[in-house]
Amino acid sequence: MTTVRSSLFLACTFMTMLTSSLVSAHGVIPKQSFDEAPRQIQFPDTAEFKTLVLDPHTHSSFSDGHVWPSVRVAEALYDGLDALAITEHLEWQPHRADLPHPDRNRAYEIALQANGDNELMIIPGTEITRALPAGHINALFISDANKLVKHPELEDQTDVRAYYQGASEWPAQEAVNAANEQGAFLFWNHAWWGSDFPNGIPKAPKFHKDNAKRNLIHGIEIANGDSYSEESFQIALDLDLTLIGVSDIHGLIDWDFVPHEGGHRPVTLVLAKERSQASMREALFEGRTVVWFKNLLIGRQDNLQALLAASMSVKSATYKTGSDILTVEIENVSDAAFQLQNMSGMTFGGSADIVDIEPHAVTTVAVRTVKRLDQLSMKFTVLNALTKPKKAAKFKLYIDKIEAL
């Protein structure tokens, strides 16, 4: 009896798993609410812009990734992304013997179909893949990936390396020009790659300097997977390139970034006028991004300040009866655990000069103001927010209404 009951229970559990499975037999991910998933990446809109969460660099089995494009879509929905690009290597096609790939738009089309009527935006993109000086360059918002690879004589080449060698003979500059003709947004990927710069310190080759100057390459990754490159950040500032953070995921997001334990993929937070691909594209060209990498926010001064101001606010400020110590409640509506260093003359009770502001929570700080004040400006350095290499952002919390009990 027990055995029968157990197997019935198992059968029911199995059926439940089947019916709630994310990816249906038709490859369409059912529209459902992912909003409750605790792993959702959440940052508030700024006063002026919508904060859109973008991962602009991922792979599927159509190049050297290990999953079908629909899995990328499911991961993106679980992570609460606003936009995803699957950017297959055009020339590096290690699965071509098993997965002939005559149409380079297939990963995008399959992702689009899998996404169905979910709100996630799927951005058509690809990765132009060369050795230095070009290195790897992603192109987003393309209209046809097939026009960005030249390989007619290589159609029957089954040797993966020989195919790559042949396909990458098409000059990178021509591929970059062709992507620009499609109106694409282009960025230089993982410049600090060990195979290109064994010491991990990239230097911009003439190719990138010239293309940046001619406005043919528009951004540069400063965070990719589990690594951050301060030198790439400096190249971005020197060449006036948009700051980009990406997962460059090949396996599974869950394996690489363990979101169930609080991790997250690196993403680009795009400050866009509207929630649309056109608006996101405009913002990327204008450089309105902040990179979210581990517990670090990295962005140009204006963009980062706007995001910090939207993330943290004073919920209340009170002198309790009989005390001249001010109790300040700081609310944080973002995913970042901010580390605020006190830059004011006053001292804090309950913590030293560094206050941890928990994500999606209210943190109480006791401020010794010496005597009761009517208003107060609290000055901080945000240790985990960078406006330049090694330069942490300044941040002020202004309190114009202090309650006295």
Q: Given the rule CB under 5 A, which residues bind Zn ion?
A: 127, 136, 189, 248
The number of residues in the chain equals 405
Strand partners, 364: 329
| Residue whose CB is less far from Zn ion, 229 or 369 | 229
| Residue whose CB is less far from Zn ion, 191 or 376 | 191
Q: How far apart are CA 84 and CA 63, in angstroms?
A: 16
| Pick from 268, 269, 219, 246: nearest CA to 49 | 269
Smallest distance from the beta carbon of 55 to Zn ion, in angstroms?
12
Q: How far apart are CA 281 and CA 325, in angstroms?
A: 48
Smallest distance from the beta carbon of 399 to Zn ion, in angstroms?
46
Smallest distance from the beta carbon of 4 to Zn ion, in angstroms?
51
Decide: residue 349, CB within 10 A, 0-12 exposed, 13-18 middle, 19+ buried: exposed
Smallest distance from the beta carbon of 107 to Zn ion, in angstroms?
12
| Residue whose CB is less far from Zn ion, 127 or 335 | 127
Position with the least CB separation from Zn ion: 136
| DSSP tag of 145 | G
Smallest distance from the beta carbon of 213 to Zn ion, in angstroms?
23
| Residue whose CB is less far from Zn ion, 82 or 248 | 248
Decide: residue 405, CB within 10 A, 0-12 exposed, 13-18 middle, 19+ buried: exposed
| Residue whose CB is less far from Zn ion, 191 or 367 | 191
The whole-angstrom distance between residue 85's C-alpha and the CA centroid of its chain comes to: 11
- Residues 126 and 142 sit within 8 Å (Cβ to Cβ): yes
148-174 per-residue burial string, b: 16 or more CB within 10 A, e: under 16 = bbbbeebeebeeeeebbebbbebebee
Smallest distance from the beta carbon of 76 to Zn ion, in angstroms?
16
| Residue whose CB is less far from Zn ion, 197 or 319 | 197
